[in-house]
Structures are given as structure tokens and as C-alpha cells.
Amino acid sequence: MSLQAPDKQEFLSRINRLQQALRAQGSDGFLATQHIALYYLTGSMQAGYVFVPAEGNAVFYVRRSIDRAQAESAVRVEPLPSLRAFRLLLKQDYPQLFASGQEITILTEMDVLPAQTYTKLAQVIAGESGSRSVLTDGSAMLRRLRMVKSAFEIGRIEAAAAAAAEALAEAVAELKEGMTELAFMARIEYGLRIRGHIGLMRTRSYNMEIMTGMLGAGDAAAEPSAFDGPAGGRGLGPAAPQSVSRRVIGRGEPILIDIGCCIDGYVIDQTRMAVIGSLPDDLAAAYKQSVAIMRETERLMLPGTPSESLYAAALTQAADAGLSQHFMGYGVNQVKFLGHGIGLEVDEWPVLARGFTDPLEPGMVIAVEPKFTFPGRGVVGIENSYVVTAQGARQLTKSSEELIIVT
């Protein structure tokens, strides 16, 4: 998969939408600091800060690399020699905002900004002693803007889906009894990497890390972990306590293949099931139930539908099937969602969970993952990624949903 980049207008359109939100809220500007936000707004992920005024042109203040930022950025780039000089640069570029004594409100991404950096930037915004200018939280504003994807973004997610499908198909042809989880995952990852997978699945949540995904067989897949998902996996030890282990894959046990792929920064998320031989009847029935929940969720994914209602419907289906205690984990390790937004990060909004009332909109891309955990035996389930359209859900994942059976 060759690198593709959007044209300058893509980024200027994003900035314009952010400025409209700033004006609607009565805020004076947005200071983007995290590398994902820098890329989303400028097309460059070089080190620095982007300032977006409610009115006027955005500027990317870069510490390094200036040359790469100038070659990549859709907005003007200025060198930032030190944080101490930042206030002076802002006063020069935005005198109407940063004049002495001016009271302004600047938003930033406080959900990901380290406290020490926030303190320093807040002092930059406040300026002179006694100023009431503030740097406050605008995380939700930017996350909501990013919920709705452009045609370019959806295209990159589809490219990642194609790479994932091809890599999985190649790897499955080599799956055999006695292979370790690690070896099977390494074969999948090889196929992903040669197709352009960047090797990362970026996340927003603090201390949440994702390798290329989670692959687990039998009891190892059902082993609890700190990972905020229905299946964490045994992992390679306390320093890598999730995903694959060195456990040997045996006959007749469910193999959960929850993988992602990131092409040009954009991720796909999917889960497929495999077995060497055949699944026990009750696990096969639970897998069929996960597919049934997927079909009903697809039917409900219409614009205007509250996000939380899809999760509520899935809970009802699981209960009707007598599988409530196994749904999305087991016991105290059950997670309280059905799906999540994806894009530049794996854990984007919207979340299909109680309390997330935002209605679905065309352009939202959501990974739906109904799964059932059976302690000591394994995890079964499926995950597809969809884009919401005016007509409903359009599936982006391309791998067959059929249980992969290796004889």
C-alpha cells in the first residue's frame, strides 16, 4: 500500500470546522499539542504546537524538524526556539488576542496533556502577572469533530481493511496444530507490515497500549488483563501482560484473532475466529449469537440513533440467549460497551455504551465487537468496522465472517 496524503484543503476544512465550534462556544482559540491533533489539523506530526484562533489563520510553531514540517504542513510554520519565546511569538502573530491585559480563553486537549506541560503552557497563555486569561479543557470539542470522517479518511481505513484481510488469509494458510500464538501472530504481522502497516495502533487512553492486536487460543484468550476490552490475552509476561503468549495452539479450542492495521495513520479493527478441528457445541452456539448481535446492530445503525441504544439492544439479545454473564468479558472483568469509534486512534468517539447519548451521524466510523468469554475455555466473537451513511451501516472490514476451520 503506497502512502497517500490528502490535499491542503482537507486540513483547512478541519480547521474551519474547529473555528466554527470555537465561535459557537465563545472561546478565543485552540492550542493543539498532541501529535495526533497536530497531524489532524496540519498534515504534519513534527514536534511543536498548533494555535488555531477562532478568527484568522492557524500557525504551527515547530521545535523540530522545521524542514519536514514546512514540507508537510497545510498551515504556516514558524520555528519555536523555546517555550519561553512562545508568548512573544503569539503576541506577534495574534496581537488582538495576546495584547497586555487582554482576557482570553484558549482550549486545549487536557485529556492527554501532561500536567507539567500544561502548567508551563498555562503560564504562557496567562502572560503578565494578574492576567485572567486561561488555558482550559477543549478535549471533547476536538474529539467530537473527529467523530465524523471525510471521504479521504474513510478511504484510508478501507485500505487498512484490505491489508488486514489479505494478511490474515495468507497467515491462516500456515496455521497448524502445535504452532504458538506468538508464531501465528508474527506471521500475520509480517503480512500487515509488508502492506504498509506502520506497526502501531495508536490509542488515546492513558496507559492503554495496543500492539497490532490480540490473538489468543483457549484459556489464554480468556485470561483477565488490565486491557479495557472483552479479551486481553495472557501476554508474554508482566512487562507485556496482554495479547499473544508462547502458548501452543491445540485442537478443538477457539482461536480469537482480534487484529488491526494502520495505513497512513488510519486504523481498521476486526476480529475473526478460527479452530483446528471443531468447536464445542456451546461455544459454536455462542459464536452464532455474536453474529446475530452484529446483524441487529447493523440494522440499528441509522443516523439519529443514540449511541447507547445499540449497547442496550445487545445486552437484551445476550440476556435472551442466556449468555449475559459471558457477554463482553466475564464477572468483574466484563466491559461496559459494545463498540467504539476508530480513525487515527483505536479508542475514538462515539462509544456504544450507556451514557453516550450522541446520535449517530453519517461519516462516523465504528468498530462493533460482540464477544463472549468462557473462563478456562476461551473467547468467541466477531468484530467489524462500519461507516454510518444516510442509508445505514456500510461494512468496511473485508475478511469473511465464516468460522475459519483448519483440519
Residues 252-303: tens digit of each pLDDT: 999 999 999 999 999 999 999 999 999 999 999 999 999 999 999 999 999 9
Handedness of CA 350, 352, 357, 363 (dihedral sign): positive
The string of pLDDT tens digits covering residues 356-400 is 999 999 999 999 999 999 999 999 999 999 999 999 999 999 999
The string of pLDDT tens digits covering residues 88-100 is 999 999 999 988 7
Residue 304 pLDDT class (50, 70, 90 cuts):
very high
Inform me whether the pLDDT recorded for 142 exceeds 70.
Answer: yes
> Looking at residue 6, what is its pLDDT?
78
Residue 211 pLDDT class (50, 70, 90 cuts):
confident
> Looking at residue 243, what is its pLDDT?
94
Of 9-23, 118-132, 306-320, minimum mean pLDDT range: 118-132
Look at strands 76-79 and 59-64 and give their pairing: parallel
Inform me whether the pLDDT recorded for 130 exceeds 80.
Answer: no
> Looking at residue 131, what is its pLDDT?
67
> Looking at residue 10, what is its pLDDT?
97
127: left (phi over 0), alpha (psi -120 to 50) or beta: left
> Nearest to residue 143, comparing CAs of 352, 344, 349?
349
Residue 143 pLDDT class (50, 70, 90 cuts):
very high
Inform me whether the pLDDT recorded for 119 exceeds 90.
Answer: yes
Classify burial at 253, counting beta carbons within 10 Å of its beta carbon; exposed 0-12, middle 13-18, buried 19 or more: buried
> Looking at residue 102, what is its pLDDT?
81
Inform me whether the pLDDT recorded for 128 exceeds 90.
Answer: no
Classify burial at 276, counting beta carbons within 10 Å of its beta carbon; exposed 0-12, middle 13-18, buried 19 or more: buried
Region 56-71 average pLDDT: 97
> Looking at residue 20, what is its pLDDT?
98
Inform me whether the pLDDT recorded for 179 exceeds 80.
Answer: yes
The string of pLDDT tens digits covering residues 105-117 is 999 999 999 999 9
Residue 33 pLDDT class (50, 70, 90 cuts):
very high
Q: What is the CA 283 to chain-centroid distance, rounded?
A: 29
> Looking at residue 5, what is its pLDDT?
72
The string of pLDDT tens digits covering residues 311-370 is 999 999 999 999 999 999 999 999 999 999 999 999 999 999 999 999 999 999 999 999
**Helical segments of 176-249, H only:** 181-193
Inform me whether the pLDDT recorded for 74 exceeds 60.
Answer: yes
Task: Say how far apart CA 149 and CA 13 lie, in whole Å.
Answer: 12
Percentage, residues of the chain above pLDDT 90: 92
> Looking at residue 12, what is its pLDDT?
97
Inform me whether the pLDDT recorded for 85 exceeds 90.
Answer: yes
> Nearest to residue 177, comparing CAs of 218, 211, 206?
218
What structural domains does the chain harbor?
8-145 (3.40.350.10), 148-406 (3.90.230.10)
